[in-house]
Amino acid sequence: MSEAIIGVDTGGTFTDVTLYDPASGRLIVGKTPSTPHDPSEGFGNGLGTLLTQAGLKGDAVGRVLHGTTVATNLILERKGPKAALLVSSGFRYVLEIGRHDIPRRANLFTWQKPPRPVPPEHVWEVTGRVAPDGSEVEPIDEAAIRRTAREIAAEGILTVGIVMLHSYANAAHEKRVAEILREEHPAVLLSLSSEVLPVLREYERSVVTLLNAYVMPTVSTYVEKLEQRAGQQGISAPLLLMKSSGGVASTRAIRRTPVETALSGPAAGIVGAAFVAEAAGFGDLITIDIGGTSADIALIRAGQPGITTNGRIADWRVTLPMVDLTTIGAGGGSLARISETGGLVVGPQSAGAVPGPVCYGRGGTQPTVTDAHLVLGHLPFGLLDGSFTLDIAAARRAIDDKIARPLGLSVDEAARGILEIVDNTMLGAIRVVSVERGHDPRDFVLVPFGGAGPLHGGALSRLIGCPVQLVPPAPGVLSALGLLASSLRAEFSRSCVQRKGRFDLDQIDAAFADLERDARAWLAAEGVADTARRISRHASLRYEDQGSELTLRWADTLDATLAAFHAEHERLYSFRLEDVPVEMVTLRVDAVGLLPALSLREIPKMGPADTAIVARQMISLAGGIIEAPVYDRTRLGAGATIKGPAIVKQLDATTLLLPDQTAEMHPSGSLIVREE
């Protein structure tokens, strides 16, 4: 395989691009401004810039991989088109009622129910009912469905989700409803719950199916534009999009289940972290991606990110398999302020890109985490290679006025307090993915990335006791690198309820066989050769009468799977119940299509580390103010070792090395930081 591959990750401000040329082993990394009015424009610009820089023509490209926020933004900003939902009769209000709760942390008197993506007048009821065992209780009323289809057409609604009760057990009604809709309203796009997520619990299934319908028209159009943009660059290679589960899929597959791209960007970052860490010989990782407004934390075991079906997008439970990440409102733009009771609080409110931190000089007046770093000397005095300078005096003034004086602290103490609080917020989220999942964080390597990640990595690794920290080669564009390293991936799930410790092995085998048939068909449609296919079976199990399941790899035999379940339950929850029957709820088959591996060129050895020192500046730490060298990361060769305190600057991020921390440049390009 000698064709180049390209990764394009669209973010809020920048579109990050990477190109890998296997012929030369060369990796090109770049950034181009994002174009929110039409993200495909930034995508096209990125492709053009890369090809020019690489001196390649479009036909030299073997595949293009893309991480997108189009679906996420539609959901977050509620900017989708008019959509409709068809449900079983009696359940028109399935979305409005939801689980009839107020979130556990919310206040009864101030909480407000988030508006649903479609109002009740766009939910239509359809006669027809099946029982949980799949038998028909009441047939569907075809004439009524035809009338409904015409009403939907008359409303000008072009995308519809169909959710009928117990369709995970028998999808015949949903399929017939879909046929009739297509006959009566040929322009309609359909999402069937039995295809999007055929598992028990009608509200959760309805939400996922509806969100799929909600994003489908826009994502379809977007994907078409991407193909045109690639064509304009002379690229005819396949375009693959990153899904929330950390694998890519063809545009054909994405058009059918576009909601699977909801965590596209963060998933790519996690894949990127796994890739760079593997190149340095590490497989057990805690990753933290710190941006301007939020931080995403995930745990990776033996190179594999965890997959959850308890995820959320905005206010919605999205029970599709997705990378298990915890998102918190803590980032460089998080605002610090004094609470009404005189406490110091940081975030979750953020200054965002506009006005941004005080030091950006764009009108921000409330100090942020970035301002605290700047005041303490953690940042080189200018970002993006000095393209704009930071107003340290304004940052200092803001911290003094708004935090330090009201609390009776010095400016440095206040700034350190801001960082300490935000670091502890992140620590809490790191504990959620590690300690709370039965993992000891000290057994993991911390991988901080994102623009602000490596500024916090040193303090975080100390707080959680990670002995090793790995700062990726280009921490600010790791998602784009992750795209290059990704595989094709799809998950196929189905409810297959086995109760009271009685397992019908024939039924289980038949269900797995069905799912595997779907998986093979998918791999074939994606053009994956037999030798590159990886198919694995998973089952979700629980003790009888429990309400949530643990998903485990199916271990060939039932007994081995059950043994693994008892062990996992004990590891997670501190006890096992061997005398209680085990039940099975959902079966899942994962299909992976391996893409040609990426092998990055090692970085060369260079002169002594000292020659990479480009400046010295005073930094303020808990122990006092000390002078620290500023290194240019591009001038650090393989094996170069530097001691903290130090600052390592590069185009897309800044690494802060604390006293008693030592960093060594690994030949794969990552900085490996250890405590002395």
Partner 1 sequence: MAQQRSASLMTGPGVDPVTLEIIRGGLRAVQSEMEVLIERTAMSPFIREKKDYASGLYAADGRMIAGKALPFASDLVTPIFEEYPPRSMKRGDIYWYNDCYLSKGGVTHTPDQVLIQPVFADDGLIGFSQTWAHFADIGGMRPGSLSADCTEIFQEGTMVPPVRLARDGVVNEDLLKIFVRNCRFPALVRGDFRAMLAAVALGEKRLEELANRFGGATLRAAFDELLGRTEAAVRSRLQALVPPGTYTFAESVDTDGQGSGPVTIRYKLEATEDGRFLLDQTASDDQTRGPINLVLNPKAPGVLVGVYLLGGSTEVSLNAGAESLFDEVKLREGSVLSPRFPAALGHRGVTMLRNLSGYLGLINTASGGKAAASHSPYVIWLIRGTSTSGERFLMSDGVACGYGARPFADGHDAVYLVAQENYPAEFVDISYPMRVRTYAINPDTGGPGRWRGGCGVIRELEVLAREALLSVRLDAIDHPPWGTAGGQAARAGRCIVNPGTPDERVLKPLSDGNVLKRGDIIRLETGGGGGWGHPFDREAERVLADVRGGFVSRESAERDYGVILSAEGRSIDQAATDKRRADRPAAKLFHRHGYVESLA
Binding residues among 229-268 for partner 1 as defined by CB under 8 A? none
Q: Name the pairing type of β-strands 295-301 and 285-290.
A: antiparallel
Which is it for the CA torsion 252, 257, 262, 267, positive or negative?
A: negative
CB 421 to partner 1: min, Å: 5
The closest of 134, 137, 201 to 163, measured between CA atoms, is: 201
For the purposes of burial, counting CB atoms within 10 Å of the CB of 509, is it exposed (0-12), middle (13-18) or buried (19 or more)? exposed
# chain residues binding partner 1, by CB under 8 A: 75
CB 437 to partner 1: min, Å: 10
| Of 37, 55, 77, 107, the one binding partner 1 by CB under 8 A | 107
The closest of 529, 555, 530, 551 to 540, measured between CA atoms, is: 551
214 binds partner 1 (CB under 8 A): no
| Of 13, 24, 38, 111, the one binding partner 1 by CB under 8 A | 111
> 433 in helix, strand or coil?
helix
Residues 378-417 binding partner 1 (CB under 8 A) are 407-410, 413, 416-417
| Of 38, 96, 440, 602, the one binding partner 1 by CB under 8 A | 96
Cβ 571 vs Cβ 438: under 8 Å: yes
| Of 55, 77, 112, 186, the one binding partner 1 by CB under 8 A | 112
CB 78 to partner 1: min, Å: 15
Residues 132-151 binding partner 1 (CB under 8 A) are 132, 137
| Of 1, 23, 131, 393, the one binding partner 1 by CB under 8 A | 131
- What distance in Å separates the CA atoms of residue 459 and residue 207, rounded to the nearest whole number? 39
Of the two residues 101 and 556, which places its CB atom closer to partner 1 in the complex? 101
Residue span binding partner 1 (CB under 8 A) among the ranges 15-23, 50-58, 115-123, 229-237:
115-123
155 binds partner 1 (CB under 8 A): no
Residue span binding partner 1 (CB under 8 A) among the ranges 199-207, 501-509, 608-616, 634-642:
199-207
- What distance in Å separates the CA atoms of residue 398 and residue 357, rounded to the nearest whole number? 10
Alpha helix (H) residue ranges in 526-627:
558-573
Residues 468-527 binding partner 1 (CB under 8 A) are 497
The number of C-alpha atoms within 13 Å of 302 and in the hemisphere containing its C-beta is 0
Cβ 490 vs Cβ 248: under 8 Å: no
Cβ 530 vs Cβ 574: under 8 Å: no
Of the two residues 26 and 147, which places its CB atom closer to partner 1 in the complex? 147
575 binds partner 1 (CB under 8 A): yes
CA distances from 225 to 41, 214, 242, 351, 645 (A): 9, 19, 17, 33, 48
Q: Name the pairing type of β-strands 624-632 and 646-650.
A: parallel
The closest of 58, 50, 57 to 17, measured between CA atoms, is: 50
Cβ 468 vs Cβ 333: under 8 Å: no
Structure tokens at 307: 């997959």
The closest of 438, 439, 463 to 448, measured between CA atoms, is: 463
For the purposes of burial, counting CB atoms within 10 Å of the CB of 49, is it exposed (0-12), middle (13-18) or buried (19 or more)? middle
**How is residue 595 annotated by DSSP?**
P
Mask for 337-356, x = binds partner 1 (CB under 8 A): --xxxxxxxx-x--------
20 binds partner 1 (CB under 8 A): no
Residue span binding partner 1 (CB under 8 A) among the ranges 15-23, 41-49, 105-113, 650-658:
105-113
- What distance in Å separates the CA atoms of residue 448 and residue 460, rounded to the nearest whole number? 9
**How is residue 104 annotated by DSSP?**
T
Residue span binding partner 1 (CB under 8 A) among the ranges 13-21, 177-185, 200-208, 657-665:
200-208
428 binds partner 1 (CB under 8 A): yes
Of the two residues 342 and 604, which places its CB atom closer to partner 1 in the complex? 342
Of the two residues 344 and 594, which places its CB atom closer to partner 1 in the complex? 344
| Of 166, 185, 439, 538, the one binding partner 1 by CB under 8 A | 166
Of the two residues 66 and 456, which places its CB atom closer to partner 1 in the complex? 456
CB 628 to partner 1: min, Å: 21
Mask for 609-628, x = binds partner 1 (CB under 8 A): -------------x------
Residue span binding partner 1 (CB under 8 A) among the ranges 112-120, 224-232, 318-326, 382-390:
112-120
Of the two residues 346 and 552, which places its CB atom closer to partner 1 in the complex? 346
